[in-house]
Amino acid sequence: MKRGFPILAVITALLLSFALYEALIAAPTEQTMGNVQRIFYYHVPSAWTAFVLFLINFVSSIVYLIRRNAKADILAYVSAEVGVVFCTVVIVTGPIWARPVWGIWWAPGDIRLTTTLVLWLIYISYLMVRRLSTGGKTPVIAAVVAIFGALDVPLVYFSIWFFRTQHPSPVIGGGGSLDPRMARVLLINWAAFLCLAWLLSWTRYELEIAQGKVEEALALESLMEGSR
C-alpha cells in the first residue's frame, strides 16, 4: 500500500487517543445528565461520519453509471460497508444513552435516530443485493439501488418530521445550544472518526482490488487448464 497509509494510521491513532481523553475526561460534565452524556461524543460524530460515507456512496454510484469506472464501483461498495458500521454505532449508542436519561429505549418520533435506522436498513439491503447478485452486472444493479436509497432519504426525513409534529416525543440528544467547550470536543471526535473511516475504507478498497486480481488470475489459470 502507498506510503500515505502508515502516516494516516499514526494520525488516526493519535487523534483517537486524544479524542478519547477529551471526551471522557477533559470535557465538562453536563448539568442534568451527568457522565452518561459523554456518549454524545460518539453518537453524533458517528452519525455525521456515516452520512459522509453514504454521500460518497451516492456520488460514486452515479459516477459508475455514467462512466462505468470499476474503481468508482469499488469505492461505492466500500463506503457503504464502512457507513453501515458507523450507522450501527449510532443506533446502538442511541438507546444506551436514552435509557438512563429519558427512561425509554427508543423514540419513534426522534427524526435523526429514526432516519438513521431507516438509512441503516436501506444500506443493509444494498449490501445484501451485492452479496446475493449473480451475473456480471452487479455494479449496475447496486448503483441503481444506491440511487433509489438516496431518493428515499428525504422522504423518510419528512415523513418522520410530520409524524413527530402529530405525536410529540422526547428527542434523544436534545436540542438547544451547545457549550463551546463541548462543541470543540465534538469536532475533535468527528475529525478522529473521519480519519478512522478513511483508514478503514482505504484498507477495504485495497483488499477489494487485490481480491479482484486474485480472481482474475484464478480464472485465467482454470481456463488455461481447460484448453489443454
Partner 1 sequence: MGEANSSSDIVVADGLVKQFGRFAALRGVTAQLASRKLYVIVGDNGAGKTTLLRTIAGLSQQSRGTISVLGNLEIKNVRAQIGYMAHPSLLYDEMSGMENLIYFAELYGLPQTRCREVIVAVKLDPDLERPVGQYSQGMRQRMSLARAILNDPKLLLLDEPFSNVDLRSAQEMTTLLANMRDHGKTILVVTHQPGLLEAIADEFVWMEAGKIIRRTPHLQVRQ
Partner 2 sequence: MSFFAITRATLCKDIRLEWRSKDAINAMLFFALLVVVIFSFAFDPTAEESRRIAGGLVWVAFLFAAVVALNQTWARELRNQVLDAYRVSPAPANPLFLAKAFGNFIFVSVLEALMTPLFIAFYKLRALGSAWELVPIALLGTWALVVNGTFFAAISLRTRSREIMLPLLLFPFSIPALLGMVNATTAVLTGEESAKFWIALLLAYDVVFTTACLLFFELVLEAE
d(CA 188, CA 158): 30
Report in angstroms the alpha-carbon separations of 83 from 15, 18, 20, 88, 174.
20, 23, 21, 9, 24
- Closer to partner 1 by CB, 135 or 168: give it: 135
Q: Which of residues 23-62 bind partner 1 (CB under 8 A)?
A: none
Residue closer to partner 1 (CB basis): 4 or 136: 136
Considering only residues 208-227, where is the footprint of partner 1 by CB under 8 A? 215, 218-220, 222-223, 226-227
55 binds, among partner 1, partner 2, none (CB under 5 to 8 A by kind): none
4-33: contacts with partner 2 (CB under 8 A): none
Residue placing its CB nearer to partner 2 in the complex, 135 or 226: 135
Compute CA 207 distance to the chain's CA centroid, rounded to the nearest angstrom: 19
Q: Which stretch binds partner 2 (CB under 8 A): 4-12, 140-148, 181-189, 209-217?
A: 140-148
# of chain residues touching partner 1 (CB under 8 A)? 12
Rounded to a whole number of angstroms, the CA Rg of the chain reads 21
CB neighbourhood size of 214 (10 A): 10
Name which of residues 80 to 119 contact partner 2 (CB under 8 A).
118
Give the C-alpha distances (Å, rounded to integers) separating 219 from 138, 205, 226: 18, 21, 11
Contact mark string toward partner 1, 116..155, x via CB under 8 A? ------------------xxxx------------------
Vertex 128: Cα angle to 125 and 132 (nearest 5): 140
- Cell, residue 143: 448503483
Closer to partner 1 by Cβ: residue 3 or 137: 137
Report the distance separating Cα 92 and Cα 101, nearest Å. 15
Answer for the pair 129, 145: CB distance below 8 angstroms, yes or no.
yes
Binding site for partner 1 (CB under 8 A): 134-137, 215, 218-220, 222-223, 226-227
Binding site for partner 2 (CB under 8 A): 65, 118, 121-122, 124-125, 128-129, 132-138, 140-141, 144-145, 147-149, 151-152, 155-156, 158-160, 162-163, 166
